Amino acid sequence: MDLSSEIYHALLPAFVTVFLGLPATALGAIDGVAEGTANFAKLASGRLSDVSRRRKPWVVAGYGLAALSKPLFPLAGSAAAVMGARFADRVAKGIRGAPRDAMIADETAAEQRGRAFGLRQALDTVGALLAPLVAIGLMWWLANDIRLVFWIAVIPAALSLLLAWVALREPARHEPSGKPAPLFAGFRELAAPMRRLLAVGFLFTLARFSESFLILKGMEIGLSAALSPLTLVIFNLAFVALAYPAGSLSDRFSPKAILGAGMALLIAGNLILAQSQGLAGLIAGVTLWGAHMALTQGIFARMIADLAPPHLRATSFGAFWFVSGIGALLASLAAGLLWDRDGSSATFIASAMMAAVALAMLSLLPAARDRSS
């Protein structure tokens, strides 16, 4: 599914700003609204997964809606149509995200959670790494017919739905004893350490606008629309190379320290991109962006799995992805406005400042105690 989705993501900046002739603010609105509002689905599906004590139906439903949303992209002819297609795709991701992560936690021993989530993140990123290369190859082969490329990208999405339907098995370990809590009561049960982690996640994603702006930065320094997905290749190379090692390290060392290192990498990457107008600076800054994702995304998931009791796992993941989505919505909207008004440098500096605030907040969290379940 990542191979399919990231082909659209890789070409969307060029499609919106070049082929449809819309400003960066429109791109920020499309990505921000889609990512942010879709996280209501993550909040709901996580809680419903815990209440129903089932994971697979929600995961398969998410992959199914994602596959159905893909043909909307080549049919789109306006910003509203692109936003609708992007929204459906992100809602689908929201539906499957929290139950999927809870399924991983259900099936994984506490001492292996870092590696499990690192592996999940690495495999996600393999698709995201291949997608820009496939997009570039198809754009060359099809003479820049971006709509035809979008039609071809429907194929791997359909295959992923088939695989999820046939291969996934409902786990048993997530089933708690006793009667499940009412639908909305579970959110009130989240303990103070989990709420503090959610606050850090929200602050951090305020600094994490869409990677589409990295592609815009590449186009700003001279990459063509057809070659602009190379920016995502660099990003995902760093991401996939470090995701599993970072997760494995979190099984032996403090996840909080690794998460803090990831936030520091984002600050450094932003400062480089703010100052650079050349290819070398682009490569360095985007590499640090990819590295920061490897040291944060799987680590956040592992820390949530450690803090959440079994009967609130999917609820906790849903709450995290929800607050992260609100942060992503605000970050991408602000990035688009800043980019159009003050340029790319101001956008990346603002992101660095917000990441520094999140890092300061993280430093105030107490060290997490090890969990054995």
Looking at residue 63, what is its pLDDT? 92
Q: Is residue 253 situated within a structural domain?
A: yes
Q: What is the mean pLDDT of residues 278-282?
A: 90
Looking at residue 112, what is its pLDDT? 86
Looking at residue 178, what is its pLDDT? 45
Looking at residue 370, what is its pLDDT? 43
Looking at residue 187, what is its pLDDT? 63
Who wins on pLDDT, 179 or 91?
91
| pLDDT single digits (tens) 7-24 | 887 787 777 777 777 777
Q: Is residue 196 situated within a structural domain?
A: yes
Looking at residue 373, what is its pLDDT? 43
| pLDDT single digits (tens) 205-228 | 999 888 888 988 988 888 887 777
Percentage of the chain exceeding pLDDT 70 = 91
Contact 348, 270 (CB under 8 A): yes
What confidence tier does 30 reach under pLDDT thresholds 50, 70, 90? confident
- Calpha distance 261→361 (Å, rounded): 14
For residue 43, the enclosing domain spans 2-169+190-363
Q: Is residue 183 situated within a structural domain?
A: no
Q: Is residue 228 situated within a structural domain?
A: yes
Q: Which range, 7-21, 35-49, 94-108, has the best average confidence (pLDDT)?
A: 94-108
Q: Is residue 218 situated within a structural domain?
A: yes
| pLDDT single digits (tens) 338-373 | 988 888 899 999 999 999 999 999 988 876 544 444
Model pTM greater than 0.75? Answer: no
**170 secondary structure, DSSP code:** -
Looking at residue 290, what is its pLDDT? 92
Number of domain units in the chain: 1
Who wins on pLDDT, 355 or 2?
355
CA angle 52-193-360, nearest 5°?
130
Q: Is residue 180 situated within a structural domain?
A: no
Contact 31, 330 (CB under 8 A): no
- Show the tokens assigned to 278: 């050349």
Mean pLDDT rounded to a whole number for the chain: 84
- Calpha distance 322→328 (Å, rounded): 10
Q: What is the mean pLDDT of residues 133-161?
A: 89
Looking at residue 347, what is its pLDDT? 92
| pLDDT single digits (tens) 294-319 | 999 889 988 988 888 887 888 888 88
Q: Where are the alpha helices (DSSP H) in the chain?
A: 2-14, 24-37, 39-52, 56-69, 72-75, 79-106, 113-141, 146-152, 154-167, 185-188, 192-205, 212-220, 230-250, 255-275, 279-294, 297-307, 313-342, 344-363
Q: Is residue 176 situated within a structural domain?
A: no
Q: Is residue 127 situated within a structural domain?
A: yes
What confidence tier does 230 reach under pLDDT thresholds 50, 70, 90? confident
For residue 47, is pLDDT > 90? no
Q: What is the mean pLDDT of residues 99-111?
A: 85
Q: The CATH number of the domain where 258 resides is what?
A: 1.20.1250.20
